[in-house]
């Protein structure tokens, strides 16, 4: 009986960001990341207190929402956290059951099952709270055939930059406070039926100066993965602590976006102005000794700063952007998996040293 998945998830439905200026954020993600206009909600569609822009690239849907006035949940969220991830929305077959199953296991409700209707059908949405002010929405859209969801209209735009090959959300990482990692691991296990598939302690993730701990939580079918980070004691300030200071609490640290061709994707992103963390070129001197034969040429990886790691099942290529807002908070990972199901443990040291150099530049190390 315990083998029955009480919370079957079909994948990530969308990621919603609360931002200071949704119109400009949507333009940035179209221009720099290659998303396409999808849908709009705001005063013109009967929504009086906010404006939301949905953009899409393959299976990736991002929504940018801003408040039109102060003194509400959206405005308060932006005031406290800056631009950041509010909703990690998960696709389900039954949003009512998802809410009931998680509530009975101790979830805190964000939204009771709610039916949203328009001429295109009905969509059922419910939600529970997770770390910080972050929310998991459950989205049931099997009886909805509209462009995004009721309340939104199709967003027609003459401006549509080409895509950059981004495909879907690979994983979303949460940063939580001191001694809070195991509490949130228990939440994902007990409330959402996830399993802890990998753990990293401060011996795995430490440099000379700073450290963090991480546990990777996965749902039953592996479509949804949420690693949870907690700062660890080091000689200097952990990158997770810097995030917590500037986000003013727990929240989403990075969203990993999958591609089938990381060299082409990252070449295009860099051309469009996205800045990435750089490891020293010495990283590449013994790379092939560490990871063995790979399909890609070494030179473009080195020029772009793409990292490689191997596990028992294959290898992966990955690279991390610098924070994409002024606060040193949310950033993105671009990842191409070639068999590997892990998270690049072999790159942690080089990567965290690169992050520390950035932290030091900000005076936060």
The residues that touch Fe ion, with contacts defined as CB under 5 A, are 256, 333
Residue 304 φ/ψ, nearest 5 degrees: -85, -20
Dihedral class, residue 264 (left if φ above 0, else alpha if ψ from -120 to 50, else beta): alpha
Instruction: Identify the residue whose tokens are 């030179």.
Output: 299
In the bound complex, what is the minimum distance in angstroms from residue 5's beta carbon to Fe ion? 24
- Smallest CA-to-CA distance from 97 within 150, 138, 130 is with 138
Torsion angle of alpha carbons 18, 187, 193, 241, nearest 10°?
A: 60
Nearest CB to Fe ion, comparing residues 128 and 308: 308
Distances (CA, A) of 45 to 138, 144, 152: 23, 18, 7
Nearest CB to Fe ion, comparing residues 256 and 258: 256
260 vs 278: CA distance, rounded Å = 21
Nearest CB to Fe ion, comparing residues 83 and 333: 333
Residues in the chain: 365
Residues whose CB falls within 8 Å of the CB of residue 100, separated by 6 or more in sequence, listed in order: none
Cα 239–chain centre separation: 17
In the bound complex, what is the minimum distance in angstroms from residue 117's beta carbon to Fe ion? 37
In the bound complex, what is the minimum distance in angstroms from residue 59's beta carbon to Fe ion? 18
Nearest CB to Fe ion, comparing residues 55 and 316: 316
Nearest CB to Fe ion, comparing residues 256 and 257: 256
In the bound complex, what is the minimum distance in angstroms from residue 47's beta carbon to Fe ion? 33
Nearest CB to Fe ion, comparing residues 60 and 124: 60
191 vs 330: CA distance, rounded Å = 26
42 vs 74: CA distance, rounded Å = 14
- Smallest CA-to-CA distance from 58 within 92, 119, 11, 125 is with 11
In the bound complex, what is the minimum distance in angstroms from residue 188's beta carbon to Fe ion? 16
> Are the CB atoms for 364 and 242 separated by under 8 Å?
yes
In the bound complex, what is the minimum distance in angstroms from residue 40's beta carbon to Fe ion? 31
Nearest CB to Fe ion, comparing residues 120 and 204: 204
């Amino acid at each position: 009986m315990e083998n029955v998945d009480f919370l079957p998830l079909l994948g990530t439905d969308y990621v919603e960001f609360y931002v200071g200026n949704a119109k400009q954020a949507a333009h940035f993600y179209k221009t720099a990341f290659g998303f396409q206009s999808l849908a709009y909600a705001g005063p013109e569609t009967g929504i009086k207190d906010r404006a939301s822009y949905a953009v899409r690239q393959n299976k990736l849907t991002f929504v940018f929402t801003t408040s039109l006035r102060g003194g509400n949940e959206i405005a308060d969220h932006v005031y406290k956290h800056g631009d950041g991830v509010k909703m990690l929305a998960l696709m389900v077959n039954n949003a009512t059951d998802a809410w009931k199953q998680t509530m009975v296991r101790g979830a805190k409700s964000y939204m009771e099952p709610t039916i949203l209707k328009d001429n295109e059908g009905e969509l059922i949405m419910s939600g529970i709270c997770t770390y910080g002010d972050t929310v998991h929405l459950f989205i049931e859209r099997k009886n909805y055939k509209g462009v995004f969801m009721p309340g939104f209209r199709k967003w027609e735009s003459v401006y549509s930059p080409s895509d950059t090959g981004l495909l879907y959300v690979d994983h979303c990482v949460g940063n939580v406070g001191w001694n809070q990692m195991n509490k949130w691991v228990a939440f994902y296990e007990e409330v959402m039926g996830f399993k802890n598939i990998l753990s990293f302690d401060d011996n795995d993730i430490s440099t000379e100066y700073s450290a963090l701990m991480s546990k990777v939580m996965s749902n039953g079918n592996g479509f949804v993965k949420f690693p949870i980070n907690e700062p660890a004691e080091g000689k200097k300030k952990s990158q997770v602590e810097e995030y917590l200071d500037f986000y003013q609490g727990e929240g989403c640290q990075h969203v990993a976006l999958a591609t089938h061709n990381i060299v082409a994707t990252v070449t295009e992103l860099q051309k469009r102005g996205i800045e990435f963390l750089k490891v020293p070129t010495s990283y590449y001197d013994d790379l092939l000794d560490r990871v063995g034969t790979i399909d890609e040429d070494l030179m473009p990886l080195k020029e772009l700063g793409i990292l490689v790691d191997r596990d028992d099942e294959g290898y992966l290529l990955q690279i991390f952007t610098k924070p994409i807002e002024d606060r040193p908070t949310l950033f993105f990972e671009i990842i191409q998996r070639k068999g590997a199901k892990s998270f690049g443990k072999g790159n942690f040291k080089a990567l965290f040293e690169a992050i520390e150099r950035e932290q030091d530049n900000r005076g936060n190390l």
